[in-house]
Amino acid sequence: MGSALVQRYAAALGARDWDAFATLLADDVVYRLPQTGEVVRGREAFLRYNREFPGAWELTVLDAYGDERGGVLHGDYGVGESQVGVTVLRFAGGRVAEVVDYWPEPYEPPAGREHLTGR
C-alpha cells in the first residue's frame, strides 16, 4: 500500500496533475525543507507552492519505495543538467501527512579517505 502511495504521489507530481495530487494529501499536510528551514502548512498552501514553483522541471523517478507508514521518492528534476531531490514521506490514514524535501548539492570529497573509495 505504502509503495503504491509513493508511486501515485510521484505520478501526480510528475504530470503536474494537481487534482490527483490533492487527493493524496492529508488536509493538514506539512511540507518541510530542512536545509532552509522553510515550512508550508496545509493542503491548499502546499498545492499552491507546487503550482507556483518556478522554472521548467521534469521528474524522472530514480527510486520510489514505501510501506504503510511512509516512503521515499528519489528523483531527478533536472532538464538537461541533473538536479536530484530526495523526498521522505510520512503517511497517516492512507494519505501523505508530511513531506520532507532535500536538495543535495555536489561537494569535494574530504581528504583522507581516498584509500577507501573510488570514483
Q: Is 11 one of the binding residues for a copy of itself (CB under 8 A)?
A: no
| Type and span of the H or E element at 8 | helix 2-14
Q: Half-sphere exposure of residue 96, counting CA atoms within 13 Å on the CB side?
A: 34
Residue with cell 493542503: 43
Options 12-20, 21-29, 48-56: segment touching a copy of itself (CB under 8 A): 48-56
Q: Is 37 one of the binding residues for a copy of itself (CB under 8 A)?
A: yes
Q: Is 23 one of the binding residues for a copy of itself (CB under 8 A)?
A: no
Q: CB within 8 A of 22, min separation 6: which ones?
A: 43, 47
- Which parts of this chain interact with a copy of itself (CB under 8 A)? 2-3, 33-41, 45, 48-49, 52-54, 62-63, 65-67, 69-72, 74, 84, 86, 88-90, 100, 102-109, 112-113, 116-119
